[in-house]
Structure 1
């Protein structure tokens, strides 16, 4: 079936796209930025707790700043170089500062859910619900010296509800839990509490940093430049010339080629297997440095975003939605979230003087998130291979 939309990977499918499309896109994103800034000022920055204040306004500010930054990066040859070099780092600083608070909140939620899934019990004591048995019975002395109960179930108990058993003359007993599951249940609550303290503190600091940034003279200078951009886009004389219009498609194609080259450098053959044990060797070590395999995947995620923004510039409001590329982007987002969550679990495990059961639970949590990283790489490999096959 013939392609109905402009595609930067095939510049011959349609005529040239002039710099007017670039100017329209930048003006539209600058307008979105100013609209989000007005919403942020109307809601009041100090009227709510961290993360509950104008979340929609902060998200809209971040999205508009990222799109302007990505567009400046891809189409820089058509823009005034002095202006672009000054605006790019400032907008990148703003979007990064506004993103940290949401990232810490999402990371904490992800880790607590993983702890609950791994241990079969709520990760935090405040989330527990106590169930009173209908016929209480004293626990045996041997059981009292084993793993205590966390939440509404005993340590290591099967999380699947059991059918009621007929009453007998003595207390009801269950098979003993495996030692590793008992240790995980023991440390899950303390590990969750430790992660909540550390990540909540980081989130509060990120919230304060965002408020400070939005009230700084640096941000006001950025906002003033964006306000000017909403009415006037500083194109180069060659790009603004009406006699020799400049085509945007080669620059968009270059962005696509950079993405393909970066994907080619990835170990997709290894990622094609659902379980990659070799990738866990570094992650399970005591080295606090970032995982060496993660950086190329994060770079591909950035290039995929730049390609999407370039497509938006070329096609405008009728941008072609590629389901396979959306699936690839979602896989890379999961990869980023899981790798950062694993790093947070490892950092918490290096806290001095924590209980062995807590350290054990954090180690299991770290390994679980590294497995999630491998699963995300496998999902990206599947999506990208489908995309490659569809273009042959």
Structure 2
């Protein structure tokens, strides 16, 4: 993480303005794509993605470099861009979550274990108190686990348990994979393990179809509502005001007094503040624990999910830091390790939200026990994905902070 070279005779505004001009042009291009897409679903999705990306980058840049800009203008535009990007992101999030969960259900019910990773079912408490088998972590559709290990160990049988030896539903101890003890905990009982796992697989396959149908109904309804909200937003006077503001931004950036100061004296300060906030957030994360792939820190139904918020906040701070780096190093090579760390936190967010969706579905009144069981397995699988994403992040982050030889 290095500082850019600024000529002594160039102002901060002259460095910052071209980046904002380019991102405003990206937004206008997305708007044109939206108008041209008509009934073309793929074109509409591409337009929405372009609009979201441009809006996020402009909003992040206005936040980080606010001291150099007209503060009233920057705050107002940033608020509107946050509204727009959040509204446009909802439909995409619902679609991606549904694909992720349905593919994971198919993988788990077919016993493939996901992406070649080993599967180690244990008995755990699923959402709503339903007993469920925790499948080993693997890649779900469209999600790479980066440096996650090739073999996963089953999660705890209770929320406070530890990997390896866990209490089963009856309170007896279940040996870790490869243990000499069978499901009953008695020596020589290894023949009971395949039978128990076969029973779990049968229970999962029975409930998977209904669980998938329930998730499809819930998330499709949410996606339809999000689509309607996006269309309403894109046709509103509020959106047209945002578009007009960005059309002006494509040619002119309202700067404050500091915008005319020499870039070498003033520009790096806001970027360093964003970087320091990121480093402080990462320092507060349990990276030492995340460095161990089988720590089960992220797996608990309650404890793990209450710890997601600092990771989500770190993801947002890393995004701000990346955008600040882009603004100061226009045309430079992106930091591959930093990008990998950002991707790991994206996967963390996706898996955590998917687990929440599975838990919400499992709390649906009057669902069949087999359906609740399948949703419990699915919830456990996505919490394993959360753990794998944390492991991948700490590995990538150590690369970003490694001394340059």
> What is the number of residues matched between the two proteins?
321
* C-alpha contact (below 8 Å) 1:328/1:383 kept by paired residues: yes
- Report the TM-score, using the length of structure 1 for normalisation: 0.77
After superposing the two structures, state which structure 1 stretch, 10-19 or 321-330, moved more.
Answer: 10-19
In the alignment, what sits opposite 2:356? 343
Superposed counterparts of 1:220-299, under 5 Å: 220-240=240-260, 247-283=266-302, 291-299=305-313
Backbone CA RMSD of aligned residues: 2.2
* Per-residue CA distance 1:165-221 (angstroms, 9 max, x = gap): xxxxxxxxxx96722111101101110111111111111111111000000111111
Q: Which residue of 1 aligns with 2:104?
A: 114
Cα distance in 1, alignment partners of residues 42 and 363 from structure 2: 31
Deviations 1:203-241 (A, max 9, x none): 111111100000011111111111111121100133135
Offset of 1:377 from its aligned partner?
0.2
What is aligned with 1:354? 367
Unpaired stretches in structure 1, ≥5 consecutive residues: 1-8, 123-174, 285-289
Task: Return the alpha-carbon distance in structure 1 between the equivalents of residues 221 and 301 of structure 2.
Answer: 28
State the TM-score, normalizing by the size of structure 2: 0.75
Deviations 1:124-160 (A, max 9, x none): xxxxxxxxxxxxxxxxxxxxxxxxxxxxxxxxxxxxx
Deviation beyond 6 Å, 4+ runs, structure 1 = none
Work out the CA distance in 1 between the residues paired with 2:43 and 2:398.
Answer: 42
Match in the other structure for 2:319: 305
Whole-Å separation in 2 of the counterparts to 1:187 and 1:378: 31
Report the counterpart of residue 168 of structure 2 in structure 1: none
Is the contact between residue 19 and residue 246 of structure 1 (CA under 8 Å) also seen in structure 2?
no
Are 2:397 and 1:384 aligned? yes
Report the Cα distance in structure 1 between the residues aligned to 2:198 and 2:287, rounded to whole angstroms. Answer: 37
- Within a 5 Å distance, the mapping from 1:1-392 to structure 2 comes to 9-11=1-3, 15=7, 18-44=12-38, 47=39, 52=42, 54-120=44-110, 178-240=198-260, 247-283=266-302, 291-316=305-330, 318-391=331-404
Give 1:321 deviation, angstroms: 1.6
CA contact (8 A) 1:34 1:227 kept: yes
Structure 1 residue 312 displacement after superposition: 1.1
SS in 1 for 2:305: coil
Query: Alignment partner of 1:231: what SS?
Result: coil
Q: Which has the larger radius of gyration?
A: 1
Change (3 A) 1:275 1:85: same
Unaligned regions of 5+ residues in structure 2, if any? 113-193
